[in-house]
Amino acid sequence: MVVDTKTQRGYIIPIGGRESKLANPKVLEKFVQLSGGKNAHIVIIPTASELSDTGENYVNLFKTLGVKSAYSLEIQKRVDTSKTDYLEKIQGATGIFMTGGNQLLLSTTLGGTPVAQLIRRKNQAGANVAGTSAGAAFIPEHMIAGGQPGLMPRGSMVVLAPGLGLTNKIIVDQHFSQRDRLGRLLTALSYNPFITGIGIDEDTGAFLGPDNVIEVVGSGMLTIVDMSHLDYSSVHKASADEPISLVGIRMHTLVSGARYDALNHIAYPHQD
């Protein structure tokens, strides 16, 4: 596949998990709308989930939301990523959705495979890529693979692994407020202050557009941790359980309708 450099890349959409599916599915509706609405072709990748019906449940859900087609790729082994019919389904997709589960299962199964390579090319060519929970963590270049809850950043609080690599602008932590994950996000950012931290609550999506502006959609909150003005970090000398000193952090808490310019590090609160 040759990427048309004149085409804007598609949206990158990490979702914090437990998105509303029936009563008020604003996050999923926005993803469907951006992907073509009634003309949308959605491909679901349930690899992170160990439940056999996850993919089919999302197929039925997206059909209920009015898409033209929805198809689940039952990728359980790396060899599955070379299946011609799977690659053809991704090739024709306007939206790609990765479910929750175990992000290490997702990364070790998909990382470096034809499916992962094609997803990146499709996103560059304009297809939208969303992921919820584990699927959200996998989206950026750097993935939070695990860690400990708590407010205080500490030397060994987080485990990082390579992600899908759709963007190097952000790193994502999901179920953020619900599972008390500020400390592990701060620890991850202390390793590489170039990245902006995005803590995403449940039933909340961060819609990162081709202009690198994030729009918040959903019932929860987006916590932005901006390290671009960091003056000092003690992570280089912190032992495993020792607190880390970080000076010069900027943090924003944004609700639905707010925006954040990830390129210029400017927050725009929602205006009624």
pLDDT in tens, 203-242: 999 999 999 999 999 999 999 999 999 999 999 999 988 9
Output the pLDDT for position 1.
Answer: 37
202 is catalytic: yes
What residues contact 227, with CB distance under 8 A and at least 6 apart?
189, 193, 194, 195, 196, 197, 246, 249
175 is catalytic: yes
- pTM for this one? 0.96
Question: Which entry of 133, 190, 215, 233 is annotated as an active-site residue?
Answer: 133
What is d(CA 78, CA 75) in angstroms, rounded to the nearest whole number? 7
142 is catalytic: no
Tokens of 175: 């179920």
129 DSSP β-pair partners:
12, 96
Question: Which entry of 49, 142, 202, 215 is annotated as an active-site residue?
Answer: 202
Per-residue pLDDT of the chain (272 residues; tens, 9 = 90+): 344 445 899 999 999 999 999 899 999 999 999 999 999 999 999 999 999 999 999 999 999 999 999 999 999 999 999 999 999 999 999 999 999 999 999 999 999 999 999 999 999 999 999 999 999 999 999 999 999 999 999 999 999 999 999 999 999 999 999 999 999 999 999 998 999 999 999 999 999 999 999 999 999 999 999 999 999 999 999 998 899 999 999 999 999 999 999 999 999 997 65
DSSP state of 10: P
What is d(CA 165, CA 150) in angstroms, rounded to the nearest whole number? 27
Output the pLDDT for position 3.
Answer: 43
* Superfamily, domain 12-261: Class I glutamine amidotransferase (GATase) domain (3.40.50.880)
Output the pLDDT for position 8.
Answer: 94
Question: Which entry of 41, 107, 175, 215 is annotated as an active-site residue?
Answer: 175
Q: What is the pairing mode between strands 158-162 and 142-147?
A: antiparallel
Stated length of the chain: 272
- Number of C-beta neighbours around residue 170 at 10 A: 23
